[in-house]
Amino acid sequence: MEQICVVTTVVDARRVADVLAAAAVAGRLAACAQVGGQVDSTYWWQSAIQTTGEWSVQFKTTPDRVDALVDQIRLNHPYEVPEILVTRVECGNADYASWVREQTRS
């Protein structure tokens, strides 16, 4: 199976999540992006505990597109310190992995 990666972030508005998803797919940095429903995140920020409603975005991509995708997310992300996590998929549907590779080529 060709290796794929899942890149995950969260943002504070559905509109922002949709823009990040569309830009990554249009730029062939991700084969697809899924925007998840609102979740409540609790975290430390500026010496206080905060709770905020956020939308998650998961991008499916190939290892050679990860750095460019992370750069694009960081550049367009509204947070001062955005959560951007990269997970390498060890196994899965080989046909899906091939599809991801095909869709991230120009």
Question: Can you give the pTM of this predicted structure?
Answer: 0.94
In the chain, what are the domains? Answer: 4-103 (3.30.70.120)
The pLDDT tens digits for 33-72 are 999 989 999 999 999 999 999 999 999 999 999 999 999 9
pLDDT greater than 80 at residue 4: yes
- Tell me how far apart the alpha carbons of residues 70 and 78 are, in angstroms, rounded to a whole number: 14
Summarize pLDDT for 63-105 with one digit per residue, the tens.
999 999 999 999 999 999 999 999 999 899 999 999 999 999 9
Burial class (CB in 10 A: 0-12, 13-18, 19+), 9: buried
2 band by pLDDT with thresholds 50, 70 and 90: confident
